[in-house]
Amino acid sequence: MPKDVHKPTPESGPPNVPISPPVPLAALDQSFVLQMMLDLKASVASLKESVDSLKDQSKEHGTEIRAIAKDVHAAKVVGAFIVLAAGFLGFVINVLVEFLKKH
């Protein structure tokens, strides 16, 4: 180890840096922190209420979507029946017209 390396001692410390003990929070600062914590607690409670409301709305929307899906399925079944009935009726009319043309 080189001999010209200077090791700082605890008494010397860095130059021009005042050493002072930490300052405890004043009563005003404690009151401010307490008020902030109470406000934060109220905000969290409000957010929890909002999330619960959104959950309930989501469940309601799910129920509505299932009801709409049932209605769409019923409309498809009715539409298919109408198309089949119209096709059968068209076939019967066509056969009837051909029969009447021959006689």
pLDDT of residue 11: 57
Between residues 24 and 56, the one the model is more confident about: 56
Quick one: what percent of the chain has pLDDT higher than 90? 63
User: pLDDT band at residue 30, thresholds of 50, 70 and 90?
Assistant: confident
Over residues 66-76, the pLDDT tens digits come to 999 999 999 99
pLDDT of residue 2: 55
Could you tell me the CA-to-CA distances from 3 to 6, 7, 8, 9, 76 in Å, in that order?
8, 10, 14, 16, 95
Structural tokens at position 99: 């029969």
Question: Which of 28-37, 46-55, 72-81, 84-93 has the lowest average pLDDT?
Answer: 28-37
**Contact residues for 59 (Cβ-Cβ < 8 A; gap 6+):** none
Structural tokens at position 30: 């404690």
- Contact call for residues 13 and 19 (beta carbons, < 8 A): yes
